[in-house]
Amino acid sequence: MIDIENVTFQYEDAVEPALRDVSLHIKKGEFLAVVGHNGSGKSTLARHLNALLLPTNGAVRVEGMNTKDEENTLPIRQKVGIVFQNPDNQIVTTVVEEDVAFGPENIGVPPEEIRKRVDNALLAVGMEEFAARAPHMLSGGQKQRIAIAGMIAMEPEVLVLDEATAMLDPKGRRDILSVVSKLHRKKGITVVMITQYMEEATAADRVAVMSGGRLILCGTPEEVFRETELLRQHRLDVPAMTELKERLNAAGAELPDTILTVEDMADAICRSLLKN
């Protein structure tokens, strides 16, 4: 779906590059989480996926279209939708449904078709009751769902969430995650989720870890979070249950290496107790 080939990127007037020789292949239909600290380059990477930023060296191709070709910009942005961190700063108009229509209007979709897409998109994020509301009266989580609907209305193939949950409360965060995983499962949309929360990453098919502008690890959540040493070296958090498992195993318990969530841990403990 998206090929990132040896991408290096340096912001103007920056001393050091924000991305260093990053290569990553994003598969069609997968759920990829990208984790790392602020300044690790993860947001910079996200902005390369829809040609908001262009690589200094290397190339990004979306279904074969090089982001450097200007004529590809609009088709790429239609295929790859991005939801940003601050819910307030991505809603353009004063009525929810008008805002969802903004994207399709920009790419010249006929009016009746826009109406259909807007209704479907609002339904997909569970915000259909709010179609005629003013966005500034909504909660942060609701605003982010509107932003996602605005992307869905463009019928994208990839949805990139650039720390879209960072400013939300736990309920807002859960809502966004469930909406996104539903879109992933039911519509087969490819999801790239940039996040600081390791617990969010445990739900992904694959996890990519960024540090200092480099991709330091990439694999299934089990593979990545097994590398606790490496993660700690880069001062990244390990999911709480993975840490607990490590401590228990260090003391002689024989729990499986694949524990990531509370459910995993409870299962493993019960199984282990039955054995004894």
Partner 1 sequence: MPIVVEKLKHSYMEGSSLAHDALRDIDLTVHDGEFLGLIGHTGSGKSTFVQHLNGLLQPTSGTVTVDGFNMADKKQRVQGRRLVGMVFQYPEYQLFEETVQRDVAYGVKNMGMGEKEALERADEAMALVGLDPVKFRDKSPFELSGGEKRRAALAGIIVMRPKYLVLDEPMAGLDPLGRHAILDTIDSLRETLGCAVVMVSHSMDDMADRAERIAVLAKGRLIRVGTTAEVFGDAKTLIDNGLDVPQVSRLALMLRERGVDVPSTIFDMDEMELALLRLLGKGGEKQ
Partner 2 sequence: MKDITLGQYFPGNSSIHRLDPRTKLLGMIAYIVLVFIVDHIAVFLIPAVFVAAVTLLSGVPVSYLLKSLKPIRFLLVFMFILNLFMVKSGETLWAWRFLVITEGGVKQAVYISLRLILLLSGTSLMTLTTTPIALTDALEKLLHPLGRLGFPAHELAMMMTIALRFIPTLIEEADKIMKAQMARGADFESGNVFKRAKSMVPVLVPLFISAFRRADELAMAMESRCYHGGDGRTRMHVLRFQKADALAAAVFVLMTAGIILLQMFAV
Closer residue to partner 2, CB minimum distance, 124 or 217: 124
Residue/partner pairs of 111-116 with CB below 8 Å, 24 or more apart = 114/153
Beta carbons of 165 and 144 less than 8 angstroms apart: yes
Q: Which is nearer to partner 2, 136 or 275 (CB)?
A: 136
If we measure between CA atoms, which residue out of 129, 173, 127 comes closest to residue 153? 127
Residue with tokens 């080939």: 5
Applying CB under 8 A, does 92 fall inside the site for partner 1? no
Tell me, residue by residue from 169 to 208, as one string, x for binding to partner 1 by CB under 8 A and - for no binding.
Answer: xxxx-----------------------x--x---------
Q: Please, what is the minimum distance in Å from the beta carbon of residue 153 to partner 2?
A: 9
160 and 114 Cβ atoms separated by less than 8 Å: no
The residue among 191, 98, 194 whose CA lies nearest residue 149 is 98
Contact flags string 114-153 toward partner 1, x per CB under 8 A: -------------------------xx-------------
Would you list the DSSP string of 172-230?
HHHHHHHHHHHHHHHH--EEEEEES-HHHHTTSSEEEEEETTEEEEEE-HHHHHH-HHH
**Residue 236 binds which of partner 2, partner 1, none (CB < 5-8 A, kind-dependent):** partner 1
Question: Which chain residues interact with partner 2 by CB under 8 A?
Answer: 47, 50, 52, 74, 77-78, 81-82, 84, 86, 88-95, 97-98, 101-111, 114-115, 118, 134-136, 147, 150-151, 154
The contact set with partner 1 (CB under 8 A) reads 37-39, 85, 139-140, 166-167, 169-172, 196, 199, 235-237, 240-241, 243-244, 247-248, 251-253, 262-263, 265-266, 269-270, 272-273, 276
